[in-house]
Structure formats: structure tokens, C-alpha cells
Amino acid sequence: MNPVVEPKRKRVSFTISTRYRLLLYAAPFLILVLVFSYFPLYGWTYAFFNYRVGFPLFDTEFVGFKWFTSIISNEFQVREIVRVMKNTFGISTLGLITSIFPVIFAILLVEIRTNWYKRVVQTLTTLPNFISWVLVYAIAFMLFSVDSGIINKLMISLGLQSGPVNYLASPDHIWIKMTLWSIWKTLGWSAILYIAAITSIDQELYDAAKVDGAGRFRLMWHITLPGVMSTFFVLLLLSIANFINNGLEQYFVFQNSLNKDSIEVLDLYVYNTGLVGYNFSFATAVSMLKSLVSVFLLFVANQLSKWVRGESII
Amino acid sequence: MKKVKKSLLALLIFALIGSMLAACSSGNNDPKPSASPNSTTSDPETGTEEPAREEITIDVFSMLSNFSGEQTGWFAHALKEKFNVKLNIISSNLEGGGDIKFQSMMAGGDLGDLVVFGDTDSKYLDAIAAGMLLDWTKDGLLDNYGKNMLQNAPKALEKNKAQFGGGTSIYGIGNDVGPETEGPSEAKELNYHPNLRWDLYEQLGRPEINTMEDYLPVLKQMQELQPESDSGKPTYAFSMWADWDGNLMMNTKAWAGMHGYEEGDGFNPGGFTLVSADTEDVQGILDEDSYYMRGLRLYFDANQMGLVDPDSITQNFDEAVNKMRDGQLLFSWFSWFDDAYNTPERMAEGKGFHLVPFNEARSFSNGFNPYGGGRVWAIGSKAEHPERVMEVIDWLYSPEGNMVANYGPEGMMWELKDGKPVLTALGEEAFPSNKTPIPAEFGGGVWDDGRNQINNTTFKNTMINPDNGDPYDYTLWTSTLAKAPTKLEENWRAAMDANTPVEWFTKNNKIAVQKAIYTGQPYVEMSDDMKQKQGQVASVIKEYSWKLIYANDEAHFNQLKEEMISKAKGLGYDEIVEFNKEQHKVVFELRKNS
């Protein structure tokens, strides 16, 4: 008996039941999530101290909720936050509205019959996505700078302007300008998903519609567009949850004293008060608010999804 | 076969890890890392001879520098020859501006090897408190490697010990160390005084200028006279830069300097007050008639007249200097800012910048200060080779080092004739700051770009160099003074009835000398709470100052001005000013006694 039992026991000790095996497969990703998404929350502790750079955190004074109350304790501080939130929501709303552009672009791109031309257009519009914002600013500087900018030179030589104008410092329509830059940068890249969605539409639908006498625009309107709309809505809902995260880089490179009032979005404000204004703790407190708003927006988006599409995303 | 391969692999890995560990530990424990193993093994016989020193790169974190990257050209060459070191310069002006670079380096726990502070302000105190700076009195560092400082700047060391080192430690040494003499420390030109394109001003018949605002119509006429620069670009009176702004807009504050007022009182760090150099008057910068507010108004009017460079808000100092070089500018707040325009060729033609004072002027002047100024040289506590960094600083505090740091080694720009310094042909061509090529034997490149980019000083250059009996400053050498004046200089002297701007200011009693103060006590620091308020108010003031200048019209200007004042006050401006004023009172008492 014995010699038969032994190998059996060995096998048991070396195999892991399926449930645990799956858990093990997932473990590396769970660890990654923990390390990169939850561990950074430790940084929130800075909001409860009067932190000064260079000193160990626990050597600095513990101040409790001082920084949280100081956000609303002073009328001027409240106005600052309102201004920043206005910019954040304004630019984000423009971003949401213009998120239909990649859909239109994708539909039109698919309609192009000349293959090489289609590829060239797609490549050229996708490339800017891989340029960093710093380089985008360098391009903007080449175009719009006072002394060497092409636009200034052109306008002066055409007699439309009497002297150079500092376009980059102008605070007018800054939300729209920022939105245009980001469309230029991401149009081709965002269209890729929609192009994939379009190619998966059943060809028979088109054939049937053609038999019924539908022209090119009818095909686009009645078949292609509804075909990509579900993809569009999923992405739209996801971007609502991301409403408050406009990122920092773009606004950081374009900001200056003259346009700061209307370009300072929440992320940039946190950077400016923390690193420039010498106040890490206050900046941390403000950025914690951001997380709260994000979570709230996520639930809103989820509810929207339930109403619109009858299914939730989380 | 497979087993053999595996064990071989394991062995290799072990060997690799082992050697890495060994390398780490040897790097940490080696007491003299500067002696490289190569140089000692190559010549084992001569035990007494000093081994050739390993080349090291010193990370210089300078809060004054306008250059970022490796120091090149003749100064790099001189340091390489003398110390076998290279300088990697980290400039907070260029990397984010303001205090951003300082904060991120503090957060990283390493301020580099050689640290240059712009002022003995809270940044300096924080760096000391957080242990980021090296105590020079430890391990005999100062005694062994600081002989020149101990000899030439003992009071500056003493001041740092008493004020910032709790009476025992020394963390740094101030700039512009001078002798104990009364009167202005400047010899020919002051820091702040209005310099205009003298040739154009003369063409206009030298109209009289009473107040600072009176410059505008004159500058407008000058612009009409000279609408284009040498390369065909439009000319402006004022081309400013934002990268030096601290608590306020620097180019606006300059007008206070021309009236004998300065940020801070020479003892406390600057806040939101402008303090008279020699009276007890103090202005809050946002006071209705303060020189700061008048300055903003002046720039606004100037911008309406087309006299302000629209690029001011987006450019940095370097770009402004290039415009000066090209002849795009007509006005300079500083006697040194126009150096780029005043080339020998232009001055010989009678073209160039020179002092055009206004009647209300009382220019700010620093007295000689044996205790050194606020721009501090320090060593980072994480410096790998503190003794070699110390050697470099110490050398800069020697007559030889100071000459090289300013004008290069002997034989390049200058030489000694009968024991006195004389400019060489190259020097004649390259001074003050021209892009003149430098011979390869001195490091190549061009003069201006090869200059010492750390941008801090050691001695006050108007002081006598004990090696040759002439001042360090080449414009004051016996040989330079004996030279026939340029046409520009001749015209100016004839018109102003004085040989130099300082002579003119002194003769007309339009100079305000701030005496050096030393108490042996540290200054009173404001609370953290107030520091934070100061930071917020400063950012409002800076932002709105620039906006005011570019305001669309009078109504817009007034509206922005209201906003600036109410915002600044709402965030605690008054509290800071009160605190500043309290501190100034103490200094005024000390001034009476000194």
C-alpha cells in the first residue's frame, strides 16, 4: 500500500487548487495596483502636517485639518478655488464637446478611396500624439513668438499688423486655444478606435442599404454612425469620470503671468501652490479634494450609463 | 552538460553580484577617493610626489546663474588646468524659475556639491536646518583647505559663524568682501542708474529730465530717431525678463534703486517693503505713491506708447541681452546691462549707452563690506569631494583666483607690465562682454560664453589687488585710466562735467550709501504661517504686475490695480509689511550707532 500512497501525497503537496492558481496569476497585477495606485495615497499624510521641504515629515508640525479649513476660511482663497474650478470645468467641457470630432474624422477617413492618401493622412494625424507637450510648445513658439515667429513676420509683411504682437501671452479665448491644440495633438490617435469599430460593421448592412438605393451620405448617416455610437458613448462616459483630470503638462508649458488667470486648471494650481508657492501641505489638501470629485463623477457617469444604455460600467 | 552550464551561470551571477557589492562598499569606505588607483600604481617609486588627481565634476547649484549645463570655454579650461575639475551648472533661474529647483533639490535631499544662494534668506536657513549644507569647521576642512579665506575674508567667515552657525559652525561665505572703508564701494558706475543711448540723446539736444516719468517722451523721440536695430528689428525702450522675479517684479523694483531704496535693509531679507539706504523711510510696495507702483504705471504708459517689448513676459535674461547686443534697446536700468552694446567699435564712433540721470535721482550704493554680502557660497552636505570643492572656493578668494575668475589667466586678456596689469590686444577687443574668439591654448570658444557662469563674486572688485596695487576691476587699472577716452566717453564727460557716473552722483549729492551692518546676531525669522502668506501674496503681486503693464487701457489698468491690492491684502500683505517694518526699525537703530 505504502508505495502507492506516497506519490499521491506528493502530488497533492505540489499542486495548487484552481482557485488559488487564478489568484496567483492575478497577484502580480494586484501588487502593481497596490504599489502604483494605493501606496501613493500615503502621500496624503502631508496634508496634515506643516511640511517643509528637506525635513523629515514627522519632524514637522502636525496641524490636523488646518489646510482643509484654510481652503474655505478666506474669501480670497475661495475665489481662487472657484476660478480654478471654472477653468477646469470649462476646458473639460470643451474637451467633451469636441470628443465627437474623432468620430467624424474616422468616418470621413474610412470613406477615402485612395489607399495611399488615406494612409498618409492617418499617419500625419496620429504622429502628433507622440510629441511631448514641451515640443508642441516649441512648435507654437516658432509660429507665434514675437521676434522670430512666422505668423508675426507674415502679418507684418502683409501690412496687417503695424508691429509684432505677443500671441502666446494673450489671455483671450485661452480655453478654445488650448482645446484646439489638444485636438490637433490627439485627433488621429483617438480616431483609431473608431476606425476599428467601423471595420467591424457588417458589410451586408451596406450592401442591403445600397440595394435600397442609399447614397454615400445615407450610408454614413444610417449605418456607420450608429455603428460607432456605442463605442463613442463608452469613451464619453469614461471621460466624464476623468472630467477633473485635464493633466498638467499642456497648461504648464503654455502658462504665463498674463494668461494664468484663465489657464490655471486644478492640476496646474496644485503644482503652482505646492512647488512654486512653497506650500506642499496645502497643495496636497487641494489635490485630495480632486480625488473626491473624481469618485463622485465616476458614480454619476455610471448612473448615466445605466439610464442611457441599460448597463453599468462598474 | 546542462548541469555544468547552469552551475557556470550561477557562478557568473554570484561573481557579478559580488563585484558590484565590492565596488559599492569600496566607494563608500575609501577615505581618499580623490587619489585614483591608476596614478598611484603607475609610479610606485616616487612616494613623495603627489599623484595626479582624478578628474571630478562639481555640481554647482547656483541660484544666480543664467546658464545651465557644463561650463565651457576659457574658465572651464583654467579650472581643469588648476584643479582637474569640471563644473556642471544647475541654474534655478532657467530650471523653472523662482524657488522650484531649490525645493525639488531639497526634497531630493541633495543640493549638489557647490551651492550658491542669492540671499541669506529662509532658503539658506532652511538648508542649514535640514542638514543640507556642510559645516566647514568639521574635520579641519576650513583650516586645511581654506587658507585664503581665513586670510582675506576673516570677517565674512566670522559673520557666518555668528549669524547662521550658532557661533560654532560655518556653512558659507558671503560675496563682495571688501576693506573697512567708508563711502561708496563702487568706483565708476553704480548698480542701478538709468543709462540711455547717449548718441541719440545728444541728437535730441539733451532734453532735461526731472522725474522718472519724464523719460517716456524722450525715449519715444529716440525710438522715432532709431526705429530699427542693426539687424532691422524694431527698437524698444524697455525689454524686461521675468526669470529673476522673487517677491516682486525685479525690473519694476529697479526704479526704487534709482531713488536710493532697496528691497530689504541690508540685514533682513527682502519682503514687501522698499527701504531707504540712508534715511529711515520705508515704503510698502503697494503704497499708492511707492516707487514700485510708479514703476508699474510708467511701464503701462510706455506700453501704450509702443516702448515696451511685447516679448518681455515670455523671454529670459539671456534673450534680453541678445537684443541689447543687437541694438534693439534704448534704455538700461543697470550700468552692466548695456555692456553687450558698448563694444569698442561702437564707442569709438560715439555710439553707446551712458548715464542720463533725472533730477530726482538718488542712486543706491553699497558701502564697502568686510563681512560680505548676502550671496553665499556653500558646500552641499552630500558632496563627494568636499575638500576639492573647498579648494576651488578658497582659490576664488585669493587675488590670483579672483583675477582668473573675472578676466582669465595672465597672458590671455591681461598681462603685467612693470608689475601693473595691462590689457592685451585680445583684452582690448573682447572687453567688456563681446563674442571675441579665444585662442585654443586658453580653451577656445568665445570670450563672453566662456565667462564664469556661476555668477557670484568673491571680492568687491573695486578693492585693491595686493599683488599689483591696482584695483581688480580692469576699468580702474592705472593703464586703462591713462588711455585716451573713447568718443562716447569724451562726449559724455564734456556734457556732464564729470569723469564717471559715480563722480557725477557724488558731486551732485545724488547718491545714497547703505552702510554695512553687523550685529553678531541672526535676524528674526518670520513664522511658517507668515512665510506661506508671503509666498501667496508674492505670486499675486508678480502676476498682476505683469498684467498691469500690458493692460488694454486706463480703465483696465485701474481695475487690475484694485484687484491686485485687494487680493494681496486679503491674503495677508499687511501683516507681512508690518513685520518687515518692525525689523527695519531695529536696523535703523543699529545704523545710528555704527
- What per-residue confidence (pLDDT) applies to B590? 86
| Residue in A74, A257, A276 closest to B242 by CB | A257
pLDDT of the residue at B261: 95
Q: What is the pLDDT of residue B367?
A: 87
Q: What is the pLDDT of residue B212?
A: 96
Q: Chain B within 8 Å of A296 (Cβ-Cβ)? A: no
Per CB-CB distance under 8 Å, the chain B contacts of A52 are 126, 130, 528
A213's CB contacts (< 8 A; 6+ apart) are none
Contact B543 A53 (CB under 8 A): no
Q: Which residue has the cell 576691476?
A: B473
A35 in a structural domain:
no
Note whether residue A20 is domain-resident. no
**CATH code of the domain in which A233 resides:** 1.10.3720.10
Report yes or no on A224 lying in a domain.
yes
Q: Evaluate whether residue A142 is within a structural domain.
A: no
Low-confidence ranges of chain A (pLDDT < 50): 1-5, 7, 10
Which residues have CB under 8 Å from B475's CB, separation 6+? B187, B188
Contact A276 B539 (CB under 8 A): yes
Using an 8 Å CB-CB cutoff, list chain A residues near B313.
166, 169, 256-258
Question: In this structure, is the dihedral angle defined by the CA atoms of residues B115, B118, B120 and B124, taken in order, positive or negative?
Answer: negative
What residues contact residue A149 under an 8 Å CB cut-off, 6+ apart?
A141, A142, A143, A164, A167
Q: pLDDT-based confidence at B552, cuts 50/70/90?
A: very high
pLDDT digits (tens, 9 = 90+) for B255-282: 999 999 999 888 888 889 999 999 999 9
CB < 8 Å to A83, chain B: none
Contacts B130 to A, Cβ<8 Å: 52-55
What is the distance in angstroms between the Cα of B188 and the nearest Cα belonging to chain A?
35
Q: Which residues of B touch A43 (CB under 8 A)?
A: none
Give me the number of domains chain A comprises. Answer: 1
Contact by Cβ (8 Å): B389, B114: yes
Residue in the structure block whose three cell numbers are 501525497: A9
Residue B8 pLDDT exceeds 70: no
> Is pLDDT at B235 greater than 50 in this prediction?
yes
The CATH code for residues B56-178+371-460 is 3.40.190.10
Strands B353-355 and B331-334: unpaired
Quick check: B100 and B94 in contact, CB under 8 A? Answer: no
What does the alpha-carbon distance between residue B304 and residue B556 come to, in Å, rounded to a whole number? 12
H or E element at residue B417: strand B414-417
Kindly report the number of other CB atoms within 10 A of residue A218's CB atom. 13
Q: Compare A1 and B303 and report the one with higher pLDDT.
A: B303
B227 contact A CB<8A: no
| CATH class belonging to B192-366+501-519+526-593 | alpha beta
Any B CB within 8 A of A138 CB: no
What is the 8-class DSSP label of residue A39?
Answer: G
Domain that holds residue A87: 76-135+163-309
Model pLDDT for residues B424-470, shown as the tens digit of each residue: 999 999 988 889 999 999 999 999 999 999 999 999 999 999 999 99
Chain A residues whose CB is inside 8 A of the B532 CB are 277-279, 282
The secondary structure element, H or E, covering residue A7 is helix A2-14
Q: Sheet containing B331-334: give its strands across.
A: B331-334, B192-197, B353-355
Task: For residue range B13-37, list pLDDT tens digits in order.
Answer: 554 444 444 444 333 333 333 333 3
The identity of residue A257, as a single letter, is S
Q: Does A6 touch chain B (CB under 8 A)?
A: no
CB distance from B547 to chain A under 8 Å?
yes
Residue B151 has pLDDT above 90, yes or no: yes
- Which pLDDT score, from 0 to 100, does residue B198 have? 96
- Tell which residue, B386, B466, B399, has the closest CA to residue B144: B386
Q: What is the DSSP letter of B49?
A: S
CB-CB contact of B516 with B371 (8 Å): yes
Helix (H) or strand (E) holding A229: helix A225-241
Residue B432, preceding bond cis, omega within 30 degrees? Answer: yes
Q: Are strands B114-117 and B69-70 parallel, antiparallel or unpaired?
A: unpaired
Average pLDDT of chain B is 88
In Å, how far is B539's CA from the nearest CA of chain A?
7
Q: Is A277 within 8 Å of B539 when comparing Cβ atoms?
A: yes
Q: What pTM, to 2 d.p., does this model score?
A: 0.81
Q: Which residues lie closer than 8 Å to A31 by C-beta, 6 or more apart?
A: none
Domain membership flag for residue A205:
yes
With contacts defined as CB-CB under 8 Å, which chain A residues touch B311?
Answer: 145-147, 164, 166
CA angle B47, B51, B52 (to 5 degrees): 160
From chain A residues 58-117, the ones with a CB under 8 A of any chain B CB are 61, 74-77
CA distance A261 to A269: 10
Q: Answer whether residue A65 is part of any domain.
A: no
Among B221, B257, B242, residue whose Cα is nearest residue B330: B221
Beta strands in B236-393 (DSSP E): 261-263, 273-276, 282-284, 331-334, 353-355, 363-366, 376-379
Question: What residues of chain B, 419 to 448, have a C-beta less than 8 Å from chain A?
Answer: none
Q: What is the pLDDT of residue A12?
A: 52
Q: For chain B, which residues make up each domain, given as ranges? A: 56-178+371-460, 192-366+501-519+526-593
